[in-house]
Amino acid sequence: MCETQVGFQGLMEQIAAGSEAAVERLLGLYGDHLCRAVRRRLSRALRPKFDTNDFVQAVWASFFCNRGELARFEHSAQLVAFLTRVASNKVVDECRHRFQTQKADVARECSLSDQTSRELAIPGREPPPSQIAIMNEQMERLRGGVPSRYRSIVELRAEGQSQEEIAEKLGVSEKTVSRVLNKLRSRVERGP
């Protein structure tokens, strides 16, 4: 028996016995083989969706499920062939799932930058209707309790104008706008 074969069988025996150091060594020795096997089988359409390491970890999880079967590998070529086959099967299963089921079909997905997706109603930053109703109610209360000279500050701010823009439009200082808005904000926070 050659020395490398004895080394391989010794490694398998150590793994079967539960040696974590032997497991780490095995992962280091054969991890690259698994990565290559996964990359060869993974469809271009699925590459952006999956990390190669996810498949590699799934293969290792399957491999280590039954440590009693480790003795069946007489040399490293058998192990590499086995791991490659398991990796291939896992990738093929996921490809079937992603291409042959309507629910997960990647062919049905479209990018947000596509023209068709621009036509879709994509939720934005608009507040929900209930929040709009509450804001309108608060605005009405504010308008009623605000002196007429400050009413325009409130209305311009409600339109989305900045404090600087409001000050410039109304010919007042920015500090005045800030002071008025702070007073109104504290009044709203205190409630009616």
pTM: 0.49
Residue type, 88: S
Going by pLDDT thresholds of 50, 70 and 90, the confidence category of residue 117 is very low
- Quickly list H helices, the chain: 3-17, 20-41, 52-65, 76-100, 115-118, 129-145, 148-158, 163-170, 174-190
pLDDT at residue 142, as a whole number: 67
Query: Distance between CA atoms of 21 and 17, rounded to whole angstroms?
Result: 11
> Could you tell me the CA-to-CA distances from 116 to 113, 123, 126, 134 in Å, in that order?
8, 15, 22, 35
Q: Say yes or no to pLDDT of 106 above 70.
A: no
| Fold adopted by 3-108 | Rna Polymerase Sigma Factor; Chain: A (1.10.1740)
φ and ψ at 174, to 5 degrees? -65, -30
Which one is predicted more confidently, 103 or 76? 76
Nearest to 56 by CA among 30, 74, 77: 30
pLDDT at residue 152, as a whole number: 82
**Averaged confidence pLDDT in the chain:** 77
Over residues 81-92, the mean pLDDT reads 85
pLDDT at residue 37, as a whole number: 84
Class of domain 129-190 (CATH, top level): mainly alpha
Q: Give the start-to-end residue ranges of the domains of the chain.
A: 3-108, 129-190
pLDDT at residue 128, as a whole number: 79
DSSP state of 122: -
